Amino acid sequence: MIDKDGKNFRYLFSFKKIWYIAFTAFLKFTLGNWLKYKFNLKLENKSFKFPEPPYFVISNHIQFWDPFIISYFSKYPLFWIVSDDYFRSKTLASLLKLVGGIPKSKFVADRLATKRILKAIKDGYCIGIFPEGNRNWGGTTGGIISSTANLIKYSKIPVVSFVLKGAYLSYPRWAKYTRKNVLQVEAKTILTSIQIENLSVQQIEKRVYDSIFFDENRWNEDYNFKFKGKKLAEKSELAIFICPVCKSFSSLVSQGDILQCKICNFSKNFLENGTLSSNFSKISEIYNFNIDKVNDITKNIHQWLKWQIEYLNKIINDKKNSNDTVNPIFIDEQMLLLKGKKFEKLQLLGEGKVLFFIDRLEFYLNGTAKKYLFYIKKMYGENVQQNDKFDFYYENGDIFRLFKPGKLISAFKYESTCRLIKEISPNV
Plot region of 88 (φ>0 → left; ψ -120 to 50 → alpha; else → beta): alpha
pLDDT the model gives residue 8: 44
The answer to whether the peptide bond before residue 67 is cis (omega within 30 degrees of 0) is no
Whole-prediction pTM: 0.91
pLDDT confidence bin for 418, thresholds 50/70/90? very high
Q: How many residues would you count in the chain?
A: 428
For the chain, first and last CA: distance in Å? 51
pLDDT the model gives residue 2: 41
Residue 164 backbone phi and psi in degrees, to 5: -95, 120
Dist CA 9 CA 6 (whole Å): 9
pLDDT greater than 80 at residue 220: yes
* DSSP per-residue codes, 349-361: EEEEEEEE-SSEE
Largest CA distance in the chain: 74
pLDDT confidence bin for 14, thresholds 50/70/90? low
- On the CB side of 246, CA atoms within 13 Å amount to 20
* Burial readout 264-302 (b: 16 or more C-beta within 10 A, e: otherwise): bbbbbbbebbbbbebeeeebeeeeeeeeeebbebbbbbb
CB 234 within 8 A of CB 175: yes
Dist CA 392 CA 377 (whole Å): 12
**Residue 92: exposed, middle, or buried by beta-carbon count in 10 A (0-12, 13-18, 19+)?**
middle
**Residue 394: exposed, middle, or buried by beta-carbon count in 10 A (0-12, 13-18, 19+)?**
middle
Q: How do residues 38-97 score in pLDDT, each as one tens digit?
A: 999 999 999 999 999 999 999 999 999 999 999 999 999 999 998 887 777 777 777 777
C-alpha dihedral, 215 to 218 to 224 to 225, nearest 10°: 0
pLDDT the model gives residue 13: 53
Dist CA 258 CA 311 (whole Å): 23
Dist CA 386 CA 405 (whole Å): 12
pLDDT greater than 60 at residue 346: yes
- Reported as type and span, the H/E element at residue 297 is helix 291-297
pLDDT confidence bin for 102, thresholds 50/70/90? confident
pLDDT greater than 60 at residue 31: yes
pLDDT greater than 90 at residue 279: no
CB 248 within 8 A of CB 263: yes
**What are the residue boundaries of the structural domains of the chain, listed by start?**
15-223, 236-311, 324-424
- On the CB side of 388, CA atoms within 13 Å amount to 17
Give bridge partners of residue 165 from the DSSP assignment.
184
CB 88 within 8 A of CB 160: no
pLDDT confidence bin for 427, thresholds 50/70/90? low
User: Quick one: CATH architecture of 324-424?
Assistant: Roll (2.30)
